[in-house]
Structure 1
Amino acid sequence: MATVRFTKGLFIHNEHAGSQREPVIEQVISVLKEAVGHVERKVITEPGEGEKLCYETVQDYDIVIIYGGDGTVHECINGIARLEKRPIVAVLPGGTCNDFSRAIGVPEDLDAACRLLKTGVVRKVDVCAMNDRFFANFWGIGMITDTSENIDENKKSMIGKMSYYLSALETVRHPSFFHYMIEADGRKLEGEAAMVVALNGNYIGTVDLPFQANHEDGYLELIIVKDSGFPLIKEVIQTKKIKATGEHAANLEHYHVQSFTIQTDHPMLIDMDGEVYAVTPAVCNVKKGHIDCLCSA
């Protein structure tokens, strides 16, 4: 496979990403310099800085290399997606779960991920617009938002992704239900749910979900979960079997859509890529192939 090479790159890293040892960052940069002629470095130190940095500066670069977790990627994508001229994006896993990079085939090993700068292929990856924001991996309300909100930050720093599982288990045991009204590709849907999720990728909290979401097909997998408890846990445990048979363990509805609007009986917090800051109602649509990402072959 031909080596991918770039003239000028911007290396953005979250100061909290991965190991905090400076030699690790210098090691990453030394690998990047083998594939990028000139590399500049910027450090994200506060929320919102990544989006602002990307929106204002990345048009001057051939490639932007983002080292951080899903939150950092979410910020940077929200800056890049609004641009007319968008550079190629490479993501290096530096967070707790790294769901987006995992979904597009970026290795969890940092050295292997860096080597994609030399060996990877560029693919046109879908991103999704919600109102005036963007998400790369998933959108959700209900239990998924409760899970994000209930994560103990002290546990997260100590036990990493296990903190997501513990929060998810607690949320599944004590769900809250809400009334929704959805119009999806002209189809009207209404009822009670514990969770509504729109998947652009197939991983949340490192869990491979029992659906066939694809970052390159121009569609979202819209999932309406009607109940929780053991059937929902079984849904995740039996992912491979469910993908093979299409027979779901939980009581849910599944739609393959390009866009949808949603209203709820009260404003509900929205989780996008693990970041919770917006509320319903929402209008979502897929922007097919909107960003060029460096991926595994």
Structure 2
Amino acid sequence: MKRARLIYNPTSGREEMRRLLPDILHRLDVAGIETSCHATTGEGDATREAAEAVYRGYDIIIAAGGDGTLNEVINGMAGKDNPPPLGVFPLGTTNDFARAMGIPRKWEEYCDLVIRDQTRPIDIGKANDRYFINIAGGGSLTELTYEVPSRLKTLIGQLAYYMKGIEKMVNLSPTELSIHAEGYEPMHGEFMMFLIANTNSVGGFEKLAPDARIDDGLLDVIAVKKCKLAEFIRLVTMALRGDHFNDSHVIYLKTKRMEVSSPKQVLLNLDGELGGKLPAVFEILPSHLRIFAQS
């Protein structure tokens, strides 16, 4: 019998996991997967628990929650030797990674993927000594995802991000950055933000980095040069259609490694969570983990 460790955020998805847990455990148990659970209690708890699960030799680790919970679990696994395959129950507000991977929203369908042992290799991003699975970024607008209180996200979902985004846009200001991407000439100037995508789903935008792939061994980088608020809002509307690449304010490139620094304090966003600050070295780790998903 296989052993699985299910790490879940009890507040994600309007506390949906509390209701689903007995049925999920029963379905896995009947299929020969003995599953134990851990409900996270605070920041860093999922990382510690995932690292412990790797150490204790579990055959499967499952993360249930939003992108933040997934990021913590990844950080507990990615630095270990021979981590087991990872399962993902998407229960958060945006679920960018799950959307990009085509992970079923129905828990029964996803349980069956795990039971069939249907996995695929995926790339993992690294920012200094931390890992990210979907997105990294910096600049004032990228701060909104980790500034929205978790309770507010639980109560009103995606609307919480829109509310915070409007507040951020009013005070949006450029940041001086130096960007050195492998294979490109160095860049220095004022930027509104930079994003590094590992998939094509970023903050609910599926056309922001449409060519990004989880298994191509590359990071897709989007940097927005200094512009006025009206121009930035126009860029956002263009991004909804995927037309932003034609704008002179947008820099787009693919690379395996990139260094970013700034004379000012710039906080990093990793999968929607606070991930340290610049300077930072970003790199891709090809086929670093296996995840339960359709091929």
Deviation, 1:205, is 2.8
2:243 paired with 1:248 = no
The size of the alignment, in residue pairs, is 287
1:170-225 residue CA offsets vs partner (Å, 9 max, x unmatched): 43343110111111104211111100110012223322133211111010111111
Between the aligned partners of 2:116 and 2:255, the Cα distance in structure 1 is: 33
Percent identity, aligned pairs only, is: 28
Between the aligned partners of 2:124 and 2:274, the Cα distance in structure 1 is: 18
CA contact (8 A) 1:10 1:58 kept: no
What SS is found at the alignment partner of 1:284?
strand
Structure 2 residue aligned with 1:17: 12
Between the aligned partners of 2:264 and 2:99, the Cα distance in structure 1 is: 34
CA contact (8 A) 1:262 1:283 kept: yes
Shift of the 35–168 alpha-carbon distance from structure 1 to 2, 3 Å rule, reads farther
Give 5+ residue unaligned stretches, structure 1.
1-5
Structure 2 residue aligned with 1:290: 288
Structure 2 residue aligned with 1:86: 83
2:112 paired with 1:115 = yes
What SS is found at the alignment partner of 1:208?
coil
Give 5+ residue unaligned stretches, structure 2.
none
2:23 paired with 1:27 = yes
Shift of the 277–162 alpha-carbon distance from structure 1 to 2, 3 Å rule, reads same
Shift of the 237–21 alpha-carbon distance from structure 1 to 2, 3 Å rule, reads closer
Between the aligned partners of 2:32 and 2:94, the Cα distance in structure 1 is: 27
1:56-109 residue CA offsets vs partner (Å, 9 max, x unmatched): 222411111111111111111001001012100010112111111222121223
Letter in 2 for 1:217: D
Deviation, 1:275, is 0.3
Between the aligned partners of 1:23 and 1:138, the Cα distance in structure 2 is: 30
Between the aligned partners of 2:151 and 2:47, the Cα distance in structure 1 is: 26
Deviation, 1:39, is 1.6
Structure 2 residue aligned with 1:3: none
Letter in 2 for 1:296: Q
Shift of the 29–17 alpha-carbon distance from structure 1 to 2, 3 Å rule, reads farther
What SS is found at the alignment partner of 1:33?
helix
What TM-score do the two structures reach when normalised by structure 1? 0.89
Name which of 50, 55, 58 aligns with 2:51: 55
CA contact (8 A) 1:262 1:280 kept: yes
Between the aligned partners of 1:154 and 1:53, the Cα distance in structure 2 is: 23
Shift of the 249–121 alpha-carbon distance from structure 1 to 2, 3 Å rule, reads farther
CA contact (8 A) 1:11 1:67 kept: yes
Structure 2 residue aligned with 1:266: 264
Between the aligned partners of 2:208 and 2:265, the Cα distance in structure 1 is: 28
Greater strand proportion: 1
CA contact (8 A) 1:261 1:282 kept: yes
Stretches of 4+ aligned residues off by more than 6 angstroms: none
Structure 2 residue aligned with 1:43: 39
What SS is found at the alignment partner of 1:74?
helix
What SS is found at the alignment partner of 1:214?
coil
Between the aligned partners of 2:131 and 2:146, the Cα distance in structure 1 is: 20
CA contact (8 A) 2:201 2:208 kept: no
Letter in 2 for 1:220: L
Shift of the 37–230 alpha-carbon distance from structure 1 to 2, 3 Å rule, reads closer
CA contact (8 A) 2:176 2:190 kept: yes
Name which of 230, 233, 238 aligns with 2:233: 230
CA contact (8 A) 1:231 1:249 kept: no
Name which of 70, 93, 97 aligns with 1:96: 93
